[in-house]
């Protein structure tokens, strides 16, 4: 798959592009020849970001993807947008009795609202030509998991948005899909779960291969899919 995928002459937006999975996606697209546009909320996100000074990576600092005007500003940039990949999001957990309304609202904003706003602006930007949208749901949407009420609900909204939008755009050339990861093998997750079996967790670079295919011109038939990227976990 790696040798076949080409983004030569194409541009992509990757939200959450400075995180562990986002960095892997940015790197995969750059290798495939894409110009990648990455919104950045806070400057400290760029510490250690390996593509900070890469010629094919354009950074847009100070944007909050929960804010409508900021998202519009990103997509109003002079970009010939082919792929919009929405990795930005957040996580929290706990039993429902201790789940505050603040946690619920925060996860809805971080996961569902950012995805909605970016999908909407991407569709506007891609109107009249071919494009690809890839969202990020989560395994608890498909495999119920306790003590993740707010997180699961916010990611279920992402999944529902993906399926509905794919159908809405079925007569166009804009394919909309979502990946559905389990726990990803990242430094933060290893620190949070030091006794877990890291070997079975999918690696960011492995998941990035699936994202790159779904976002690429090679994907000629897949739309409205929730694609598990669990690995052996």
Cα Dmax for the chain: 51
**pLDDT at position 3 over 80:** no
Mean pLDDT, residues 3-17: 94
Per-residue model confidence (pLDDT) at position 24: 98
Question: What are 31's two structure tokens?
Answer: 């290798």
Confidence label for 4 from pLDDT (cuts 50, 70 and 90): confident
Per-residue model confidence (pLDDT) at position 101: 98
137-171 residue pLDDT tens: 999 999 999 999 999 999 999 999 999 999 999 99
**pLDDT at position 15 over 50:** yes
Tell me whether residue 14 is exposed, middle or buried, using C-beta atoms within 10 angstroms of its C-beta: 0 to 12, 13 to 18, 19 or more.
buried
The dotted CATH code for 11-229 is 3.40.50.720
Mean pLDDT, residues 29-43: 97
In whole numbers, what is the pLDDT of the chain averaged over residues? 96
**pLDDT at position 217 over 80:** yes
Per-residue model confidence (pLDDT) at position 185: 94
161-198 residue pLDDT tens: 999 999 999 999 999 999 999 999 999 999 999 999 99
37-92 residue pLDDT tens: 999 999 999 999 999 999 999 999 999 999 999 999 999 999 999 999 999 999 99
How many residues are there in the chain?
A: 233
Instruction: List phi, psi (to 5°) of 193.
Output: -130, 70
109-127 residue pLDDT tens: 999 999 999 999 999 999 9
Give the DSSP per-residue string, the chain: -TTT---TT-EEEEETTTSHHHHHHHHHHHHTT-EEEEEESSGGGGTT-TTTT-TTEEEEET--TTSHHHHHHHHTSS--EEEEEE-------B-GGG--HHHHHHHIIIIIIHHHHHHHHHHHHHTTS-EEEEEE--HHHHS--TTBHHHHHHHHHHHHHHHHHHHHTTTTTEEEEEEEE-S---HHHHHH-TTS-GGGSPPHHHHHHHHHHHTSTT-SS--S-EEEE-TT-
Per-residue model confidence (pLDDT) at position 1: 41
- Output the CA torsion sign for 171, 178, 13, 57: negative
- d(C-alpha 92, C-alpha 147), whole Å: 9
**pLDDT at position 18 over 50:** yes
Q: Tokens 């003590």 correspond to what residue?
A: 147
Residue pair 18/88 in contact by the 8 Å Cβ criterion: no
Question: What are 90's two structure tokens?
Answer: 């957040």
Residue pair 67/48 in contact by the 8 Å Cβ criterion: no
Residue pair 182/139 in contact by the 8 Å Cβ criterion: yes
């Amino acid at each position: 798959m790696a040798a076949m995928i080409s983004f030569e002459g194409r541009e992509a937006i990757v939200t959450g592009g400075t995180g562990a999975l986002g960095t892997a996606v940015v790197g995969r697209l750059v290798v495939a020849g894409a110009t990648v546009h990455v919104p950045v909320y806070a400057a400290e996100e760029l510490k250690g970001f390996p593509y900070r000074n890469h010629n094919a990576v354009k950074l847009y600092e100070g944007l909050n993807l929960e804010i409508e005007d900021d998202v519009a500003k990103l997509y109003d940039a002079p970009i010939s947008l082919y792929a919009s990949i929405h990795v930005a999001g957040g996580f929290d957990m706990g039993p429902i009795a201790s789940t505050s309304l603040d946690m619920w609202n925060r996860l809805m904003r971080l996961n569902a609202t950012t995805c909605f706003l970016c999908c909407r602006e991407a569709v506007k930007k891609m109107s009249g030509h071919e494009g690809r949208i890839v969202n990020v749901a989560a395994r608890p949407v498909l495999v119920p998991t306790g003590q993740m009420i707010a997180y699961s609900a916010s990611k279920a909204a992402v999944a529902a948005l993906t399926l509905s939008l794919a159908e809405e755009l079925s007569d166009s050339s804009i394919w909309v899909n979502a990946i559905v990861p389990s726990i990803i093998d990242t430094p933060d997750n290893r620190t949070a779960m030091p006794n877990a079996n890291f070997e079975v967790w999918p690696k960011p670079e492995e998941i990035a291969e699936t994202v790159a295919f779904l976002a690429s011109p090679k994907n000629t038939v897949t739309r409205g899919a929730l694609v598990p990227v669990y690995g052996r976990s």
